[in-house]
Structure 1
């Protein structure tokens, strides 16, 4: 069954847990929040053991079946979380996932987290089998037209009211990045007098915020401004930005670029592809520059490397996180990194 992300809370309140949840999309904030709701419901229902699997290019999908069929070491129920780095699934993955959909285990909850899944995948036999046994939650991006309403709702949840001008100003500042919008709203709770946000409140918040932003970093990287990107990178690092926030920003951009290349292969012009993906007008020149420098193969390699950085952030490897992030940025900016370990 397919439901919208804003229907998930009601589903979890009214029904028992499904054996399978597929949370798919390229909007990290909403995807994370949906997964958190599912995890919390699972914990409340006695699923106290959590198994985390990183499905990168070298992942052995038989591992999923082994965990599915094995008895839990610590409890009667367990949640098996599979984080997919790519929206492409080979024949082995399809076979294993189809098996999971055909024979779901009542004492398990399978949480499959993926980038945006295109229609051919959603129409495949293995996916339909999973969807029939569980819940599919596609995460749709919020476009410029609906972003102000989303921001207004988030402000209300934070106990804030705001003028229409303030909401529009914040919408323009974050350019569709919901993670950034959420962070700005949290910051506004410190600046808003009587919990009311005006344009002046937002300007004050921005002027007092960090000298650099992750948006400046990504835009300069897309433009190929290597020296400026590295200065911003070092500034953000010194100011204490979380590595996960920077990684989200990079991987989101790479996935967007990959989606554009795939649409072009399907026959769309770049302009048509950007309209399809709702690219903001003033970002289109940056996107064009990035695609001129990076082939589809190069972008897929960056995305694969980002999975290794994610493991380092989670403490699953000893790689130097900041050096690895710097390498990702250099590659996206079009710089060939000969000896990655030297950074």
Structure 2
């Protein structure tokens, strides 16, 4: 079947429901929205059950195949969703996905979610692509962002001057989630045509805490301000998953840049490959003066441990761990590396 862009997905779902969907890409907002669109369409088509699986270490792929094949007279049709974080299902996952695609059931729809780029040459990818639809999410470039924001404003029933769109694009600096949040705020506060002055007043004067302020303060090394923002986010009821996503995203970028520069790559080129905007380069450079590659790799393991705590797979308070992770990014380590590694096991 076809490869689809996110903006083509809704139309394709109205025409025909595929037995398998693969949503892949490194822009979390667009991946999430694409998955939500598929879930809604599948539910409307009468697939009322929804089972979610995560390809975590130790995951048994037989569970997926068993669930797909276990139908009784009174069973509901269902959506089977499997999330593969690194885009690599492993040998068992490769075989399981191929086996599923060889005999897909009319009573199931399979949704495979890869928040990273999978290998399109792999057998499992080709099997899914042959019978299903692949939704490829590409990052929105700096040149595309104003047009994307303008479309979102129009969808929200808002009309904005070109200068206002350009200003909003410069403020969010490629963070689509931040752009959507600002548009939602404009729906509540703006009246008439949105001008550059409207953006300057409403966006700049926002008193709320947000995850992007948190990451900027942590990268800047301002531990006290970062922790204040973190407490504010928790007090406002922000989901811990969103906070973790923002912090982990910066740590992954730092680790990628650190590894590239250690191999002799130019810093500016390494930032470009990591998707870092020019205005954020000073923040990244400052953070890399404090954080070495080994420390960043440890922080990635810590982020993974926090994710398990959020999902209930680890007995720990996610917000306590997020506090520690924020301090670490800001350059404050309360535990020695050996004790840090020991703590991640529990």
TM-score, normalization: structure 1?
Answer: 0.86
> Are 2:27 and 1:30 aligned?
no
Change in CA separation of 1:265 and 1:208 when aligned onto 2, cut-off 3 Å:
closer
In the alignment, is the contact (CA less than 8 A) between 1:49 and 1:72 conserved in 2? no
Shift of 1:248: 2.8
Change in CA separation of 1:48 and 1:212 when aligned onto 2, cut-off 3 Å:
closer
Paired residue secondary structure (1:197)? coil
Shift of 1:261: 6.5
Paired residue secondary structure (2:280)? helix
Shift of 1:294: 3.9
Matched with 2:10 is: 9
Instruction: Select the residue among 245, 249, 263 that pairs with 2:246.
Output: 249
Shift of 1:169: 1.1
Q: Distance in 2 between matches of 1:179 and 1:266?
A: 32
Matched with 2:322 is: 325
Matched with 1:139 is: 137
Matched with 2:162 is: 164
Q: Distance in 1 between matches of 2:253 and 2:105?
A: 35
In the alignment, is the contact (CA less than 8 A) between 1:254 and 1:303 conserved in 2? no
Q: Distance in 1 between matches of 2:320 and 2:58?
A: 23
> Are 2:297 and 1:293 aligned?
no
Change in CA separation of 1:274 and 1:241 when aligned onto 2, cut-off 3 Å:
same
> Are 2:113 and 1:113 aligned?
yes
Report Cα offsets for 1:72-122 as digits up to 9, x if no partner.
Answer: 69733110111233333322222222222333222111111111215xx11
In the alignment, is the contact (CA less than 8 A) between 2:164 and 2:199 conserved in 1? yes
Paired residue secondary structure (1:171)? helix
Matched with 2:95 is: 95
Change in CA separation of 1:155 and 1:311 when aligned onto 2, cut-off 3 Å:
same
In the alignment, is the contact (CA less than 8 A) between 2:258 and 2:293 conserved in 1? no
Shift of 1:269: 4.6
Shift of 1:332: 4.0
In the alignment, is the contact (CA less than 8 A) between 1:306 and 1:328 conserved in 2? no
Change in CA separation of 1:173 and 1:264 when aligned onto 2, cut-off 3 Å:
same
Matched with 1:67 is: 67
In the alignment, is the contact (CA less than 8 A) between 1:56 and 1:86 conserved in 2? no
Q: Distance in 1 between matches of 2:160 and 2:82?
A: 39
Q: Distance in 1 between matches of 2:155 and 2:78?
A: 32
Unmatched tracts of structure 1, length 5 or more: none
Matched with 1:199 is: 196
Shift of 1:153: 0.6
Taking the TM superposition and a 5 Å limit, the aligned residue runs for 1:116-131 are: 116-118=116-118, 121-131=119-129
In the alignment, is the contact (CA less than 8 A) between 2:19 and 2:110 conserved in 1? yes
Paired residue secondary structure (2:51)? strand
Task: Tell me how many residue pairs correspond in the alignment.
Answer: 334
CA RMSD after TM alignment = 2.8
Matched with 1:232 is: 229
Q: Distance in 2 between matches of 1:133 and 1:265?
A: 43
Paired residue secondary structure (1:161)? coil
Q: Distance in 2 between matches of 1:152 and 1:72?
A: 49
Matched with 2:86 is: 86
Change in CA separation of 1:202 and 1:10 when aligned onto 2, cut-off 3 Å:
same
Change in CA separation of 1:227 and 1:117 when aligned onto 2, cut-off 3 Å:
same
TM-score, normalization: structure 2?
Answer: 0.85
Change in CA separation of 1:154 and 1:104 when aligned onto 2, cut-off 3 Å:
same
Unmatched tracts of structure 2, length 5 or more: none
Matched with 2:215 is: 218
Q: Distance in 1 between matches of 2:65 and 2:90?
A: 16
Matched with 1:280 is: 277
In the alignment, is the contact (CA less than 8 A) between 2:244 and 2:303 conserved in 1? no
Deviates further, 165-174 or 225-234:
225-234
Q: Distance in 1 between matches of 2:276 and 2:204?
A: 27
Shift of 1:165: 1.3
